[in-house]
Amino acid sequence: MSGETSEPGNMGRMNDPDGSAWVTGLCGDTMEMYLVIENGTVTDATFFTDGCGSSRACGAAAVALAKGKTVEEVLRISPADVADVAGVTSGNDIHCAILPVSTLHRALADYLVRSGRG
């Protein structure tokens, strides 16, 4: 998890996030999330995945939804919210919205534990 890459749609790794996580989904794809949190609000977020096009779209949607929201608001982001924003509607791809939300919530948990709020 070193180095920083930058691609459109907030895809990239972050060197010194306040919270981060990576999760490997049942499909075998891995999602990483990196959060900058200031005064309880997500001020920056990026993701990285080796997954399919739908997982990239859903990762981008998840970080876009998280930015500017409080920790409590981010915890309410659901896979359905992400699928809506990403435009993922097919039954086969809908599971791709679950992976970034799981990763986002784990990154928040990492932040909460690290900051002594968890």
Which chain residues interact with ligand FES by CB under 6 A? Answer: 25, 27, 29, 51-52, 54-55, 96, 99
Helices (H), 11-116: 53-66, 71-75, 79-86, 98-114
Residue number, 58 or 65, with CB nearest to ligand FES: 58
Neighbours of 1 (CB within 10 A): 11
Residue 100, CB-side half-sphere exposure with 13 Å CA sphere: 40
Please, what is the minimum distance in Å from the beta carbon of residue 59 to ligand FES?
9
Please, what is the minimum distance in Å from the beta carbon of residue 98 to ligand FES?
8
Residue number, 19 or 51, with CB nearest to ligand FES: 51
